[in-house]
């Protein structure tokens, strides 16, 4: 699985951002191949030089599907909207995502 990670820095006008956020979500959620998304509000910075206040993740089954989504008309429009509403105060990453659930982790510990 691959995901697009969007990290948003503090913005001068959060009211404006949140009034336009649904427009971004509508576009992003219509991208082909999207299987899941997650949105997080950062509550506390523990370490590091950068300060991000919001994180949004868009999940795809493969890197190829992620690239197809980003290059789609919906992906291009979502990207333009995101840059506009954040005033380019963001970082974007593509990540190869591996996940496990607690039940499997416990089973692995018992087998070791």
Three-state DSSP string of the chain: CEEEEEEECCCCCHHHHHHHHHHHHHHHHCCCCEEEEEEEECCCCCCCCCCCCEEEEEEECCHHHHHHHHHCHHHHHHHHHHHHHHCCCEEEEEEECCCCCHHHHHHHHHHC
pLDDT of residue 104: 72
List the pLDDT tens digit at each of the 112 positions of the chain.
999 999 999 999 999 999 999 999 999 999 999 999 999 999 998 998 888 999 999 999 999 999 999 999 999 999 999 999 999 999 999 999 987 778 877 776 766 6
pLDDT of residue 49: 85
Q: Which domains, from first to last, does the chain contain?
A: 2-111 (3.30.70.100)
To the question of pTM greater than 0.85 for the whole model, the response is yes
């Amino acid at each position: 699985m691959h995901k697009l990670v969007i990290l948003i820095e503090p913005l001068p006008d959060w009211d404006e951002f949140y009034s336009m956020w649904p427009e971004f979500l509508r576009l992003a959620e219509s991208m082909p191949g999207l299987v899941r998304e997650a949105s997080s509000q950062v509550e506390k910075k523990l370490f590091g030089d950068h300060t991000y206040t919001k994180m949004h993740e868009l999940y795809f089954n493969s890197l190829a599907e992620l690239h197809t989504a980003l290059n789609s008309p919906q992906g291009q429009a979502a990207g333009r909207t995101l840059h506009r509403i954040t005033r380019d105060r963001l970082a974007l990453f593509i990540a190869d995502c591996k996940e496990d659930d607690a039940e499997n982790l416990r089973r692995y510990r018992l087998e070791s």
